[in-house]
Amino acid sequence: MIEAAATLDTLAALVQGAITAGLSEASTAGLAALEARAAHSSECLEILTSVPPLADIIRYGEARKTETNRLSGLMERLIVEGAIALPYAARDLDEQAAATLASAMRKADEAIRLVEPGEDVLNGWRNGLAAVLEGSRATALLAGCVAHLLYEAGRLSAEAAAGLLGRRLSPGTPVTEAAGFFEGFFSTAGQRLIYDEGLRSAVDSWLKSLDEDAFIAHLPLLRRVFSNLDSMERRRLIEAVLGRAARLPAGLTPTPDGGEAWRRHLERLGPLLLGGNGNG
């Protein structure tokens, strides 16, 4: 079966299974085949999807020490090669191909963070992500995805995120591109807005900068992303934006530091959150 495996990611999964099952001969043969296949692979998606199964073996200590050392060196090489290939692989993709690569990027990034490779390898990976964001031909969904990953890694500040959102989601941007970037950034980060004040502030700054017509034009993007939140999560997000106004005892008035315009909005939204009709 190992000899018949056609792709690097398939081989990686087979090696993981052989090592987990304690099949010494199969795992040895699989490692040799994996190293040989990796030496000739340049297909980014194939490389990235091979990283998580290798990381799982290393992380959970299922291999012997000699196997672990070989796997660690191989995985680090694959991470670097994947980072180099990524900016080119992210160009001019259709919707389905972009979604597939974005999913592979997220899973590879999670695996990389869990195994904590060397500083040079980690920097190489994040430099590859940054190159996607800087590329003029990167598909919008992927640009949004790498922006989120860089933000989570601390390579993109809240201020930089606000500026990036302002540029990539401006009313002059084609709707499909804006939708792709917004979905790429927030499709897995909607819940994070409940807890992450810096990210929430970046989004809040962008929304405040939109005039009424621009805000209405972007509502489909907001609905598409936040549809992934359940009703309780949506309420908690609203409470966080309003300084948790809905949890205040009756008779107390929150005073968020948002300026006079924000206070006027709060006067209208507060009664709705607290069960009133909002008229007045």
Phi, psi torsion values for 126, nearest 5 degrees: -70, -30
| Rounded Cα gap, residues 41 and 43, in angstroms | 6
Mean pLDDT to the nearest integer, 88-108: 94
| Residues contacting 247, CB < 8 A, separation 6+ | 239
Q: What dihedral do alpha carbons 161, 151, 196, 107 form, nearest 10°?
A: 140
Closest Cα partner for 229 from 260, 263, 188, 181? Answer: 188
Residue 229's pLDDT is: 80
Give residue-wise pLDDT tens across range 160-216. Answer: 888 888 888 887 788 788 888 988 998 877 777 888 777 787 777 777 777 888 788
Size (the chain), residues: 280
HSE (side-chain half, CA atoms, 13 Å) at 110: 12
Give yes or no for residue 6 having a pLDDT over 80. Answer: no
| Residues contacting 272, CB < 8 A, separation 6+ | 278
Residue 249's pLDDT is: 42
Exposed / middle / buried, residue 28 (Cβ in 10 Å: 0-12, 13-18, 19+): middle
Domain ranges (residues) in the chain: 1-155, 157-241, 247-280
pLDDT band for position 2 (cuts 50, 70, 90)? low
Give yes or no for residue 247 having a pLDDT over 50. Answer: no
Top-confidence residue, 137 or 258: 137
Phi, psi torsion values for 36, nearest 5 degrees: -65, -40
- Percentages helix, strand, coil for the chain (3-state, rounded to 5) are 75, 0, 25
Exposed / middle / buried, residue 144 (Cβ in 10 Å: 0-12, 13-18, 19+): buried
Give residue-wise pLDDT tens across range 208-245. Answer: 777 888 788 878 878 877 887 888 888 888 888 777 64
Exposed / middle / buried, residue 120 (Cβ in 10 Å: 0-12, 13-18, 19+): exposed
Mean pLDDT to the nearest integer, 144-162: 90
Residue 280's pLDDT is: 47
| Rounded Cα gap, residues 145 and 141, in angstroms | 6
Where is mean pLDDT largest: 1-5, 114-118, 199-203, 234-238?
114-118
pTM for the full predicted model: 0.73
pLDDT band for position 248 (cuts 50, 70, 90)? very low
| Rounded Cα gap, residues 139 and 132, in angstroms | 9
Residue 128's pLDDT is: 96
Spatial contact of 188 and 106, defined as CB atoms under 8 Å apart: yes
In whole numbers, what is the pLDDT of the chain averaged over residues? Answer: 79
Share of the chain above pLDDT 90, in %: 27
pLDDT band for position 246 (cuts 50, 70, 90)? very low
Give yes or no for residue 251 having a pLDDT over 50. Answer: no
Give residue-wise pLDDT tens across range 53-96. Answer: 888 877 766 556 656 777 888 889 899 999 999 999 999 999 89
Residue 256's pLDDT is: 44
| Rounded Cα gap, residues 168 and 41, in angstroms | 33
Residue 27's pLDDT is: 75
List 243's β-bridge partners, or say none.
none
